[in-house]
Amino acid sequence: MVFCTRYWRFGLLIGITFLAGTTVGPGLKVLDAAFAQDSNRTDMYQMLKVFGDVMQRIRSEYVDPIDDKLMVENALNGMLSGLDPHSSYMNAKSFKDMQIQTKGEFGGLGIEVNEEKGVIKVISPIDDTPAARAGIKPGDIITALDGKTLIGLSLNDAVDRMRGPPNTKTVLTIKRQSIEKPLELTLTREIIHILVVKSRMELDDIGYVRLSQFTERADTGIRQAVKTLKAQNGGRLRGLILDLRNNPGGLLEQAVSVSSDFIDQGEIVSTRARHPEESQRWDAKGDDILRGAPLVVLINGGSASASEIVSGALQDHHRAILLGTRSFGKGSVQTVIPLPGNGAMRLTTARYYTPSGRSIQALGITPDVIVQETREDRGAFGGEKEADYNRVLTNQGGADPQLHVPHSDLLPLLRQIPDRPPVDFPKFDPSKPDETDFQLLQGIALVKAIVAQKSAQAN
């Protein structure tokens, strides 16, 4: 998301209607344009009159008294949410909550959610939060809160209900794929201090860094984590695993900065807006903090938005090998535009493109090495990918999404990585990742193989 204050052009954009197969002179073209303009204005005024009539009828005849402000807010939210899955209206409270969340601290359960077809679906639980500890998973559908249904609520209303004072309990009713009966999970709300970066040393001088969200602290956290790992290991860091699995994204500027931590120069991402003059490009603005050491990035279906920008940039620059499963596929940029009354609108204003010109919108990024989390194939559950949503933006104007080809000298190593765990592999245990996280283990094995290959080539 791009957070900035913009001057917005008010007024209508009037299009000119062209009649196929008809030849008209210059005078008739002007008349046709004027007619189309008058027709569009008439239609708009008619719909505004309908809006006023409906609002007045609700005020006078609805079964219960309704606050005028609530009606207008509902109308604004409907106007925006009807465009695509990521545009929405935020009242003053929602806008303030969003600003707090992007700073990395807020109250609640710790779940990234979206709304589709009137239901609330989990994009990802946030690490070390009540939601993560309760075992909530990407793709879960939250059907009720404390026995009261969430079906049909707007995303803002649902999130507002899930938040509350710290130390208060709430019961979520969850519908999960492959489980017939709904799950009821009791969670205790707490102040969510998002520790967006975690790190540790693995064996053979290989570092591991987990980035859970692209908040304002993401880039600083990554640079500090790598610095700390080197200091802990006597300055040695032969390779790094960057874990972006289930990272739902965040700030575009932070995605550019994190990419620049590993790429010396060149394009990171570009955006194409409705008006060409508003399109932008971001280039690397740092230096490679790993000094060329091998980098493997872990992604999955919960890796979205800013995670995909970083993954796409590192992949296109041949700076990293991506391992895991196809990413979420959110290739659009939302601009948050403050509105009178302390609210704001989140509006989709552009598509973004990787350095090679690929648009991942509704397609996602395919990793260089596909490695499943478990042996079981997961069927489609709806809402797990961008392409599953209604009113999803089309993928357009980009290069072939399959354009990327890994370095040819690495292909033999990539082919050695198994695509799923063996039959007797243990069930994942978050307390024992080095024994039960199959994707992580394959990432470490790949870094070791690349280090060994480079060493052999140097000799």
Nearest alpha-carbon partner for 193 in 129, 133, 124, 251 = 129
Strands (E), 267-423: 267-273, 280-283, 295-299, 321-324, 332-338, 344-353, 369-370
Q: Catalytic residue at 181? A: no
User: String of b and e for 326-342 (b: at least 16 CB within 10 Å)?
Assistant: bbbbbbbbbbbbbbeee
Question: Is residue 21 left, alpha or beta, with left meaning phi > 0 and alpha meaning psi from -120 to 50?
Answer: left
Q: From CA 178, how far away is CA 140, in angstroms rounded?
A: 11
Between β-strands 183-188 and 197-201, what pairing exists: parallel, antiparallel or unpaired? unpaired
| Phi, psi dihedral angles at 72 (to 5 degrees) | -65, -40
| List of residues 6+ apart from 285 with CB closer than 8 A | 256, 257, 260
Q: Are 345 and 370 in contact (CB under 8 A)?
A: no
Q: From CA 134, how far away is CA 88, in angstroms rounded?
A: 29
Between β-strands 197-201 and 206-211, what pairing exists: parallel, antiparallel or unpaired? antiparallel
Single out the catalytic residue among 154, 257, 305, 311. 305
Q: Could you report how far apart the first and last alpha carbons of the chain are, in Å? A: 46
Single out the catalytic residue among 316, 368, 388, 437. 316
Single out the catalytic residue among 330, 368, 437, 448. 330
Between β-strands 321-324 and 295-299, what pairing exists: parallel, antiparallel or unpaired? parallel
| List of residues 6+ apart from 127 with CB closer than 8 A | 194, 195, 198, 210, 212
Residue 316's SS3 state is helix
What are the CB-based long-range contacts (under 8 Å, 24+) for 229-235? Answer: 229/199, 229/200, 229/201, 232/201, 233/201, 233/205, 233/207
Q: Catalytic residue at 198? A: no
Sign of CA dihedral 174, 179, 182, 188: negative
Q: Catalytic residue at 330? A: yes
Q: How far is CA 54 from CA 44, 59, 77, 283, in A?
A: 15, 9, 16, 50
| List of residues 6+ apart from 208 with CB closer than 8 A | 199, 200, 201, 202, 240, 241, 243, 440
Q: From CA 416, how far away is CA 453, in angstroms rounded?
A: 14
Catalytic site residues? Answer: 305, 316, 330
